[in-house]
Structure 1
Amino acid sequence: MMRGSSFLRPARIISSLLLPILMLAIQTDAVAAAASPAPYRIVGYASGWNPLQTKDAGKIDTLIFAFAQLKNGSVVLDDNGAKRLQDLIALKSKNPRLKVTISVGGWTVGGFSEAASTPAGREQFADSAAQLIAAQHADGLDVDWEYPGHHESGIKSSPEDKTNFTLLLKAVRASLDRAGAANGRTGANHYMLSVAIADGPFVSGVDIAAINPYLDWFNLMTYDFVNSATPTTGHHTGLHASALITGDGRTTDRAVQQFLAAGVPPQKLVIGAALYGREFADVKPEHNGLYQTYGTYVGGHNWPDLKHDVINKRGYIRYWDDAAQAPWLWNPKTHHFITYDDPQSIAAKAAYVKAQHLGGIMYWEQTLDSGDELLNDMWRGLQ
C-alpha cells in the first residue's frame, strides 16, 4: 500500500492520540524508582562508580563509600578517596533522594580498639568523622570494625571492646548531631549512622541492644559465611539453613533472628546480598560438593563473569537448594564448587524482607556488577 493512502490516516490519528498515553505507561525503571520509592532501603557499598551505571542511580537509597581510613585515631580520606567519594555524591543530580555516606574500616583495618579505649580517643575519632562528613557534604558515617573483641583479621582487640564499642558509637552519634545542628542537618535530614556488622560468634564482642539506640540501621554482612577460613564449602550467603548444614552454621535468617532477639526493630535490619561468588577446589564429591571438605580455596568471581563464563558452562552445573533458597555450582570433573547469589536467590531475599518487615537489602559491592542486573532484581523484588 502506498504511504499516502487514506487507509493509513485513521490509524495515524489513533496512534497520535494514544502516543501520550503509551509514553506515560512505558516509563523506565529508573524514573519509576525516583517517582515512587518503596518502603524498603537498597543500600550499596561502593568503592567507586562506573559512569555506565548512572542510569540505575534512582534505584539506590544509600551508597556507602568504601573506605575512609583510620589513621592515628582520626577518620580521614586521602585525595584519591575524596575524588571517588565526590563521584558518588554527583549522582544526586540523577536521584535527589540518594544519600551518600562514608564507611571507615573494612577487613584487616585496625586502630578501632585503640581509638575506642579512652574518652579522648573516642572523642578524636568521633569529631574527626563528623568533620569529614560535613567537609565532604556527605550524609553520614558507617562504622565497619571487623570485629570488636576479635582479631581474626589480624587487628588488635581487647576484652574491653564490647563496652568501648558502645561508647564509641555514642560519641559518634553526639558529634554527628552537633555537626548536623551547625549545618542545618536535623530531623529527617540528620547525619546518619550505621554499622557493618556480622553475626553468630562474630558479634560476641558487641552489645547489640546497647548500640541500637545510636544507629539508624544495621548493615548485616550476611555473606562470606563460608570462605578460606572455614573447613567446608557451603552457601556463603544463604537465606535459610540447608539440610546439610551442621550445628549453628550461619545463615541470613539466623542472623536476623539473633538481632531481633536482642531487641533491634526489624525495620532497622538491612540484610546483605553478594554480587560475587566464592570458589573451592579439590572438594569431596558427596552431595555435589555442598557442605563438603575441600583442598584449596580458589577465590572470588563477580556476578557478570559467573553468568557469562561459568554457570552451566565449562562443566559447571547449577543446582538449587530449596531449603536454603540458594544456588551453587558443581563441576563433577574438576571437583570445583562455587557459591553465589543470583536473581532467584535475590528474589527470595526480597520476599523475606517483606515477610519479616525488615529495612531492606544491602550489597557488596557496586563495581562488581557493571550491568546492575542483581541491583535491578533487588529493586523489583522490593516494590
Structure 2
Amino acid sequence: SFIFKNSSSNAPLFSTCSDPASKFSASQAVKHWISTGIPAKKMILGIPSFGYAYTLKSNKLTETKFSGDSKKTSHLFQSTTGVPPKAGKTANVGGDKDACGNVNPPGGQWLFKELSGTKKLTSNAKKGLGGFERHYDSCTQTPFIFNPETCSLISYNDPTSFRAKAKFVLRHGLAGVEVFDATGDTDDNILLRSVWKVL
C-alpha cells in the first residue's frame, strides 16, 4: 500500500499541470524509451481499469498551477489526509503487516465497473451519482469524481480517457494498448469498446 500526500491521476497521459518534481506520464515514458533507442512500434501502452481513492483535507477543490502557465490549471491535485476512504470489493482492506512489521493502510482501489455498480457513476460514465461530481482533468486527460460531503476523490480511467490514450498510440506509432485488466471493465465492455473504435 502507498500513502499519498496529494491526490493525482491514476494514469496521466500528460503531466502538463503536475508538480515539476514529479512530471510522470505516459507521454514522458514513451519519450524517454524512444530516446534510449527503442522504436515506438515495439511499445505497448498499458491502461489500468482501476482507480485510486483519496480522502481530501478540504471539501473544496482548489486550482493548482504547477506548470507555470496561467492558462493551464487543474483541480485534481489536492492535499489528502493520507488515509484512503472505503474502497471497492477487490481492494486491499489493510490491517496486514509489511516486511518491516508496519501495518498497511487500506489500498483505496476501485475497479472501473465498481464505480457504476455502487452508484458513484452513471453506467455511461458521464456523470457522478450519490453526491459525487464528475470532473475531467484536461492536463492529464483523466477523469475523477469528488464528493464534497465525504471529501472523497477517486481518480480512474473511463471511455473518454481510454480514447485519448488510443489516439496517442496511433499518433505516435506505438504497437497498441493493453488493459490491466479486463475484469475491471463493465459487462458490456464499455472501456474495451472505446479503444476498439479508435484502433
What TM-score do the two structures reach when normalised by structure 2?
0.72
State yes or no: 1:321 paired with 2:137: yes
Residues in 1 aligned to 2:3 and 2:35: alpha-carbon distance in whole angstroms? 28
Deviation at 1:287?
2.5
Residues in 2 aligned to 1:263 and 1:229: alpha-carbon distance in whole angstroms? 35
Which secondary structure state, in structure 2, belongs to the residue aligned with residue 231 of structure 1?
A: coil
Amino acid at match of 2:62: H
State yes or no: 1:293 paired with 2:65: no
Aligned counterpart for 2:52 among listed residues 275, 278, 294 = 278
Residues in 2 aligned to 1:358 and 1:332: alpha-carbon distance in whole angstroms? 39
Q: Is the 8 A contact 1:329 1:338 kept in 2?
A: yes
Which secondary structure state, in structure 1, belongs to the residue aligned with residue 62 of structure 2?
A: helix
Which secondary structure state, in structure 2, belongs to the residue aligned with residue 247 of structure 1?
A: helix
Residues in 2 aligned to 1:276 and 1:339: alpha-carbon distance in whole angstroms? 9
Show the 5 A alignment for 1:343-382.
Answer: 343-371=159-187, 372-382=189-199
Residues in 2 aligned to 1:274 and 1:320: alpha-carbon distance in whole angstroms? 17
Matched pairs, number: 156
Unaligned runs of 5+ in 2: 64-74, 86-107, 122-127
State yes or no: 1:306 paired with 2:80: no
Q: Percent identity?
A: 24
Amino acid at match of 2:142: A
Amino acid at match of 1:287: T
Which secondary structure state, in structure 2, belongs to the residue aligned with residue 297 of structure 1?
A: coil
Structure (1 or 2) with the greater helix fraction: 1
**More relative contact order, 1 or 2 (CA 8 Å, 6+ apart):** 2
Equivalent in the alignment of 1:269:
43
Residues in 1 aligned to 2:18 and 2:62: alpha-carbon distance in whole angstroms? 9
Residues in 1 aligned to 2:36 and 2:12: alpha-carbon distance in whole angstroms? 22
Structure 1 outlier segments of 4+, above 6 Å: none
Structure 1 residues 318 and 245: CA distance shift in structure 2, 3 A: farther
Residues in 2 aligned to 1:369 and 1:314: alpha-carbon distance in whole angstroms? 21
The worse-fitting range, judged by mean Cα deviation, of 347-356 and 287-296 is 287-296
Larger radius of gyration: 1
Deviation at 1:244?
4.4
Deviation at 1:293?
2.0
Unaligned runs of 5+ in 1: 1-226
State yes or no: 1:332 paired with 2:148: yes
Equivalent in the alignment of 1:137:
none
Amino acid at match of 2:195: M
Deviation at 1:264?
0.6
Residues in 2 aligned to 1:283 and 1:316: alpha-carbon distance in whole angstroms? 16
Q: Is the 8 A contact 1:283 1:336 kept in 2?
A: no
Q: Is the 8 A contact 2:43 2:175 kept in 1?
A: yes
Which secondary structure state, in structure 2, belongs to the residue aligned with residue 250 of structure 1?
A: coil
Deviation at 1:228?
2.6
